[in-house]
């Protein structure tokens, strides 16, 4: 390892959910959307793939910033675009944290957070969520330069109220990044906080509610001063011309988004009812997935493997607090029927 930085040699890399090379799977493992994106977004991406693709894209993605500013009542200068929201998380870590600084986040949460801290040589401070996934006591007292809060949280699907997030932001000395990857499926959001609290960054993605995971597009909203600092850290051309065109058109197609979100929420209710009737405990989900504890607290890995054999992919985390649970993405009604049928058979030991 003589060529590698110690911090990199010592760490494990982030392991993304399984992406099968071939079709035929019921894919409920990486929180993608089962429905196609807005036709207006698809058309805009197609048009962006003409001969103009030989040029670099506008570095600040002006077309998108204008569309998002109008849609979310922001100023363009309060918006920074990224290659997915993961890119914006990386930019935030690099902007606000030196080697040896602390980065705090609740546990269990998005498992990329400790990986980003390790890459930067920063200290991870994981603060346990209570069993009901309410605000972790002590999260406001870590002294971290950066606190990362997925809200709604992954993998629990639960959400803290805007009121609680505001109180947290006000009690921190450092920056609070509210990762709102799933917020379109939730009851409230924290975008308004960026005007009230100068230390809040909100990130959003087009990978979930907008059905554009393959496009890799997200944005951060924050006070224009914070955005200017983060802009110095980003790659010059960190989003593509088709990405800018597609995401801008998607933001403008409000009606399509509302329909898509409604379908997912309806199916989410069916999924939760079905799981509960099989004896699973489900945490209240404000997202497009459900965290479900296997009846009797056992055999989650076994169930995961048996479902895999039937080409039904869900997510299993071999981690404390999660190793008796499955995280299940909300697919189509047909996907969920197939999953619930398979679980019913497996749990009753019929196969
Ligand atoms: C909480 C959370 N934040 C961010 C992301 C990354 O999203 P993107 O596809 O925009 O990089 C995910 C993806 O699963 C997520 O669960």
Which pLDDT score, from 0 to 100, does residue 299 have? 85
Which pLDDT score, from 0 to 100, does residue 350 have? 47
Angle between helices 85-96 and 224-233 (to 10 degrees): 90
Query: Which has the closest alpha carbon to 149: 99, 189, 118?
Result: 189
Which of the listed residues 27, 91, 154 should we mutate to test ligand 1's pocket, taking the one with most ligand atoms within 8 A of CB? Answer: 154
Query: H helices then E strands: how many in the chain?
Result: 12, 12
Dihedrals phi, psi of 129, to nearest 5 degrees? -65, 145
Q: Which residues line ligand 1 (CB under 6 A)?
A: 31, 84-86, 110, 150, 154, 179, 181, 205, 207, 213, 218
Q: Specify the ligand 1 atom closest to the Cα of 213.
A: 9
Separation CA 165–CA 141 (nearest Å): 14
Residue 37 is encoded by which pair of tokens?
Answer: 């994106």
Q: Specify the ligand 1 atom closest to the Cα of 206.
A: 10
Domains of the chain listed by start with CATH number: 18-36+255-347 (3.90.1150.10), 39-252 (3.40.640.10)
Stretches in the chain below the pLDDT threshold 70: 350-351
CA of 200 to the centre of ligand 1 (A): 18
Angle between helices 333-347 and 254-277 (to 10 degrees): 10
Query: Which has the closest alpha carbon to 108: 155, 177, 164, 157?
Result: 155
E strand or H helix at 274: helix 254-277
Where does 228-345 show beta strands of DSSP type E?
Answer: 281-282, 289-293, 312-313, 325-329
Which pLDDT score, from 0 to 100, does residue 293 have? 96
């Amino acid at each position: 390892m003589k060529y590698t930085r110690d911090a990199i040699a010592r760490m494990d890399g982030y392991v993304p959910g399984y992406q099968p090379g071939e079709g035929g799977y019921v894919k409920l493992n990486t929180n993608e959307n089962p429905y196609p994106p807005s036709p207006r977004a698809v058309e805009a991406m197609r048009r962006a793939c003409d001969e103009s693709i030989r040029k670099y894209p506008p570095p600040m993605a002006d077309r998108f910033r204008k569309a998002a500013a109008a849609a979310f009542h922001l100023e363009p200068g309060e918006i920074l675009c990224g290659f997915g929201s993961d890119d914006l998380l990386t930019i935030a870590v690099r902007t606000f944290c030196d080697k040896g600084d602390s980065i705090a986040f609740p546990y269990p949460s998005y498992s990329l957070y400790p990986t980003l801290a390790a890459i930067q040589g920063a200290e991870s401070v994981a603060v346990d969520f209570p069993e009901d996934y309410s605000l972790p006591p002590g999260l406001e007292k870590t002294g971290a330069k950066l606190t990362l809060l997925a809200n709604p949280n992954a993998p629990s699907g639960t959400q803290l109220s805007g009121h609680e997030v505001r109180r947290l932001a006000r009690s921190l000395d450092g920056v609070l990044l509210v990762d709102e990857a799933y917020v379109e499926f939730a009851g409230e959001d924290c975008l308004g906080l960026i005007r009230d609290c100068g230390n809040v960054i909100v990130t959003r993605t087009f990978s979930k509610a907008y059905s554009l995971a393959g496009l890799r597009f997200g944005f951060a909203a924050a006070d224009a001063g914070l955005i200017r600092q983060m802009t110095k850290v980003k790659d010059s051309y960190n989003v593509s011309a088709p990405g800018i065109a597609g995401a801008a058109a998607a933001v403008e197609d409000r009606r399509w988004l509302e329909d898509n979100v409604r379908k997912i929420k309806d199916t989410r209710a069916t999924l939760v009812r079905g799981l509960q009737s099989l004896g699973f405990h489900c945490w209240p989900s404000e997202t497009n997935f459900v965290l479900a504890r296997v009846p009797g607290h056992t055999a989650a890995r076994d169930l995961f493997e048996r479902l895999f054999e039937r080409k039904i992919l869900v997510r299993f985390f071999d981690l404390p607090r999660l190793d008796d649970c499955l995280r299940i993405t909300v697919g189509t009604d047909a996907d969920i029927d197939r999953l619930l049928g398979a679980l019913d058979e497996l749990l009753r030991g019929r196969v």
